[in-house]
Structure 1
């Protein structure tokens, strides 16, 4: 640890010498690129700590209770940060489907008739969510989390205004794509922020609040969008989103604090260099020979390496992607199912997305609290925390089985025109199970790869968003060929086949993690 006898008082130094800091997220470890890791999610080991302590120019936290360390923030500040992040993750996904009820009017205004164009108009936003993380994650590893949230929101508002002013389908699609790219910031690095500030036994609730936005936004958006479009026009959907985003531009700049440890310590090192004139002072997490270009190159490929070279991330991302794609396939059916089979008007059709939102809120409350309760019970019993606890069969099997149950119920009751409340109940069941699957997997990967939390989230987001964008392109054709009953039954059988994946990793996950440790 640094001996700042010329700049720091001796009492502070004594505390510094007694502590070392273990990285708790992906981005904290981004700058530790010269040292091999012992195991994902662990510290770099005693050798690195001894090396750091023997170097008098290393800048670290001022003891275990350093108020600058985000893990030591008061709970009010932590939850304020999480609340703002959760709202941002709700606002940006609104753009994905809030204008969906107005697609027929847009097609008529721009003289388009292709059903593929109509579907892609909805999906192109999700493509932005797929490609945005590949840029956002590496930038955040260099400049920190807060600038990406703040300036990403500014760009999101600008692109939303441009979308509202679009005078062609091509212009509309281009700016919708850019909206998705800019709006992906809170979805990409939110889990890293949570890992920075929350202990493992409280992450379930925090992750639930944060993860609800990307799923709940596309559900509640069409509700307001349907009535707004009926009363005015589709352009007012984007004006409303721009206003909401604009409000939170100011809120995010005023309230969001940097949580990324390497950036905080790097600023501290710069301040001390200025105060002392010692240009050799550097952050504990600063790479010895790492330029910004090298950091960016390493960071930009990390999500892809995790996705391709670690079976846990690959299969879990596949599970999430397929279930997320199924959700968007269901979204494509709501407009024609409830309009044509049940006679719902343009405004009321938007309300048919509410059951999905209700189911997700039920899933968040149930599975988020249950997940944290399991971790706390293990800790109370003196059992060391294992990430695989998040994949307990008590969580993953019930949530996985509710997906096909909900799909079968929705598909066959809509096929035969049973009262509209019954297929909606099927959607509630499916959505609650979807949140159970999502929360179990997100929390597991966050615990399994805490040093690479943002990169893991980016890997999940890429595959999930690609599925959400591309699967609906063939969805209507599938339903036209198979019908609602067998079409949703096919999706149900696919989701049923995925249920054993978390169970396999619950049993063998620790062994697999130790075996597959790519250089990141």
Structure 2
């Protein structure tokens, strides 16, 4: 028993859709820290087996592995339709390339709307039940995609699949934080992040190689089968959300002792309706901050560039390089390899640079010390866009455009990692909401803007079309420089102080 202690933990870009209560309660104190004498406060006892931090290594590993696998399959499903969009268009007798691209990007609209429902529900009922319900519905909607009788129904089922698929993206990093201490969290979080990085690159490979032999519907059937296989261990997941565990423990003790004054150490005093509203609106309010808005806009643009690549690769590689759908999907590995490179660059240098600058400037750690990595990474994206665009325009060897996309993938990952670490440090009390703002913004952009990709490339060509995007990337290079020099002043300025 005791009062809860709030601990700010290092969040990754993919911890972006948690609610603040999840962030605050993910770090449960040990009983000897600020222990309250109030006998009516129910908390974890020392070495309490109900505390996810005290689970056995085997139990933790099982839960973390299952969550990571679901998280891998969700973004894989998001892009599985990319290389088969021409076959889908032909089957439904449409030549509208915007509609063909929307079959892929509409999944991301599910990533926008899903967390608004899933995150508040998880606060009331826990993570485990949401994983179980969503995986079943995820399978159902993928089967529905495989059986879709029209383009319209296919798009609707893809949207619903995206909503269900957003569950591990919403809750996954919180699950990692539930079971690991800050000192040991990096390794577990890296395993979780790797899945989210590789997923978007694996989807086109699966779709590209399955479609020619079995037809485009089998890409969705295969995803449903893979999800069905992982659904079995998902049903064995244990609840790891401390807020819900303590709530259940409190209810049990009330029943056993008859003491109705008992309350959970993590009880916020909010009604379910208040928690639901609280979770939905705060991320939107945080976009009013110039720091959050500009960095979220930058991440949204970079993420949009990524999905522009996914939606235009089939046309480029099939028409210009005469690739089949299989090799066309395999070409997206350039983005995956670049993303992994960006993960190593960001993860390997961010803490070192921050510690160096902290020591250099008198020992006071500041969020702005996370931004030098972003300044470096900001050059990767425009370099990749120019490289990809002009090598494709001049029909150079196919490996050169793919290398260019590797730079785009590296720039994307560095942007996500660096901006997330910065905003988590800068807005510690609202870390989960601020990263949610970032995610909602970027998924909305990535779902809609790539729809204009085919017509843009038709008018401008790959050279000038990608150059236009590259110039947008260049325009954002000064943003991390400005925030590095003046970010602290902006954060503390009354003019830009937004009440959250």
TM-score (norm 1): 0.84
2:171 paired residue number:
189
Q: Distance in 2 between matches of 1:259 and 1:378?
A: 37
Q: Distance in 2 between matches of 1:75 and 1:371?
A: 29
1:360 paired residue number:
339
After superposition, the Cα gap between the structure-2 partners of 1:500 and 1:200, relative to the gap in structure 1 and judged at 3 Å, is farther
Q: Distance in 2 between matches of 1:498 and 1:82?
A: 36
1:105 paired residue number:
87
Q: Distance in 1 between matches of 2:49 and 2:481?
A: 40
Preserved contact between residue 126 and residue 469 of structure 1 (Cα < 8 Å): yes
1:262 paired residue number:
243
Q: How many residues align?
A: 485
Preserved contact between residue 202 and residue 372 of structure 1 (Cα < 8 Å): no
Instruction: Indicate which of 478, 486, 491 corresponds to 2:464.
Output: 486
2:137 paired residue number:
155
Pair 1:302-2:276 in alignment:
no
2:226 paired residue number:
244
2:128 paired residue number:
146
Preserved contact between residue 190 and residue 454 of structure 1 (Cα < 8 Å): no
After superposition, the Cα gap between the structure-2 partners of 1:209 and 1:246, relative to the gap in structure 1 and judged at 3 Å, is same
2:14 paired residue number:
none
Task: State the Cα distance separating 1:233 from its structure 2 match.
Answer: 0.9
Q: Distance in 2 between matches of 1:396 and 1:151?
A: 38
Instruction: Indicate which of 35, 40, 56 corresponds to 1:57.
Output: 40
Residues 87-139 of structure 1: per-residue CA shift (max 9 Å, x gap): 21210112222122222222222222222221222221111112112212222
Task: State the Cα distance separating 1:482 from its structure 2 match.
Answer: 1.6
Q: Distance in 1 between matches of 2:449 and 2:393?
A: 21
Any unmatched runs of 5+ in structure 1? 3-15, 34-40, 44-48
Task: State the Cα distance separating 1:285 from its structure 2 match.
Answer: 2.0
Higher deviation after alignment, 369-378 or 227-236: 369-378
Pair 1:330-2:312 in alignment:
no
Task: State the Cα distance separating 1:452 from its structure 2 match.
Answer: 4.1
Residues 224-279 of structure 1: per-residue CA shift (max 9 Å, x gap): 2111000111111111111111122222232x443332212212211221221111
Residues 349-377 of structure 1: per-residue CA shift (max 9 Å, x gap): 12221211111122223322333555677
Q: Distance in 1 between matches of 2:38 and 2:222?
A: 54
1:414 paired residue number:
392
Q: Distance in 1 between matches of 2:310 and 2:429?
A: 35
Instruction: Indicate which of 324, 340, 346 corresponds to 1:345.
Output: 324
1:81-230 equivalent positions in 2, closer than 5 A: 81-200=63-182, 203-230=185-212
Task: State the Cα distance separating 1:410 from its structure 2 match.
Answer: 0.9
Pair 1:502-2:484 in alignment:
no
Query: What SS class does the counterpart of residue 466 from structure 1 fall into?
Result: helix
Any unmatched runs of 5+ in structure 2? 10-17
Instruction: Indicate which of 466, 470, 473 corresponds to 2:444.
Output: 466
Query: What SS class does the counterpart of residue 309 from structure 1 fall into?
Result: coil
Query: What SS class does the counterpart of residue 386 from structure 2 fall into?
Result: helix
Q: Distance in 1 between matches of 2:478 and 2:86?
A: 41
Preserved contact between residue 402 and residue 430 of structure 1 (Cα < 8 Å): yes
Task: State the Cα distance separating 1:390 from its structure 2 match.
Answer: 3.1
Query: What SS class does the counterpart of residue 285 from structure 1 fall into?
Result: coil
After superposition, the Cα gap between the structure-2 partners of 1:378 and 1:501, relative to the gap in structure 1 and judged at 3 Å, is closer
Pair 1:396-2:378 in alignment:
no
After superposition, the Cα gap between the structure-2 partners of 1:85 and 1:125, relative to the gap in structure 1 and judged at 3 Å, is same
RMSD: 3.2
After superposition, the Cα gap between the structure-2 partners of 1:74 and 1:347, relative to the gap in structure 1 and judged at 3 Å, is same
Preserved contact between residue 407 and residue 489 of structure 1 (Cα < 8 Å): yes
Higher deviation after alignment, 419-428 or 142-151: 142-151
1:369 paired residue number:
348
Q: Distance in 1 between matches of 2:59 and 2:350?
A: 23
